[in-house]
Structure formats: C-alpha cells, structure tokens
Homo-oligomer: A and B are copies of this chain.
Amino acid sequence: MVSSPVVNTYPLSSYTFGTKEPKMEKDTSVADRLARMKVNYMKEGMRTSVEAILLVQEHNHPHILLLQIGNTFCKLPGGRLKPGENEIEGLKRKLTSKLGANSPALVPDWQIGECVAIECKKLFLVHLSEREYFAVPKNLKLLVVPLFELYDNVQRYGPVISTIPQQLSRFRFNMIST
C-alpha cells in the first residue's frame, strides 16, 4: 500500500502579514516590453512560468493564498522564469519578490515541494475567411475587443491574453474592406 504524501497546514493566525511598495511592471513603455518579449520568445520559443500553492487553515478547512490584481483577476504567487533559470530557484526568487520582506537579512527559506500540475498552452493564429457564421453558446458572451485594449491590461485579461498584441507584432495586418 502506498501512503499519500502529507501537507502540514498551520492556522492563518500563526502568520504575519505586512505590506511593501507596489511591484510594478518590468518595462516602462510598451516599446521596451515589446523588444524584451521578442528577444525572450526568439531565444526560448516558449515561456515557462512557475507558481506556488501556499496552504493555510481556517475553520478547520484548508485555504489557499491568492493574489488579486485590480478587482477581478486572481493569480497564484509566482511568475516567469528567466532564460535558462532553474525552476525551483526561479520560484523562490518570484516568491521573495512577491511576498518576502524587503530586507536582505530576512530572505525567506521557501520549501518548494511537489510539482502538482503542468499546464501547457499553445496559441494559434486562425485565418478567418471573408464570411463565417459563429454560433455562440448561450452561457457565454462573445466580445470583440480592440487589440490596443489588451496591451498590458493584465488586471482584466490575465498574463496570456494581455501580451497578444506583442506576439502579433511580427505580422502585417492587411485590412480588407468589402
């Protein structure tokens, strides 16, 4: 018989929470970001992000720590690896950047455990012809969103959709009027 791996969870009340200055986007302009992402994408072909599941207990039930950006978008603490960076070291770096105190004397000793999921997502450009019929399931809404609205709007669209304008920068748009 194989026994299940164990996760110890401690009461939320045993942890201390403070604040620190905002974590801003790495690039100050869309042009900088575009340049950086092009270089990254060409070098790597793939962007890998690592994220942490941090569990505490409250009312005798396990709870997870999530970061909320703006009023809607929730994410796990973590982020993208640098080119060639080790996953475990990268996750420690990201956790310290997102949740660690700003003191070199207090660098947390994160205990990175099991990898519990790997999600791989590939985005394909689909070439629409001049006429198409779309049938939208009634529980979903189809939005038509201008590309400029996505730029850096991670609050609303998340980290993948908000970088589509940069991914598409190598294409030439041929606007056909009919």
Residue numbers of A with Cβ under 8 A of B are: 3-12, 14-24, 41, 45-69, 72-76, 87-88, 91, 95, 98-102, 106, 108, 110-148, 150, 156-158, 160-161, 163-164, 167-168, 170-178
Contact = CB atoms under 8 A, between A and B. Distances in A.
How many copies the complex holds: the figure is 2
B124 A50 contact: yes
Chain A contact residues: helix, strand, loop or mixed: strand
A162 to B, nearest CB: 10
A61 to B, nearest CB: 5
Contacts of A132: 15-16, 108
A56 to B, nearest CB: 7
A171 B125 contact: no
Nearest to A128: B54
B176 A64 contact: no
B133 A16 contact: yes
B145 A4 contact: no
Given A22-B138, A23-B137, A68-B140, A48 B124 contact: no
A46 B120 contact: yes
Given A115-B122, A118-B122, A122-B50, A143 B74 contact: yes
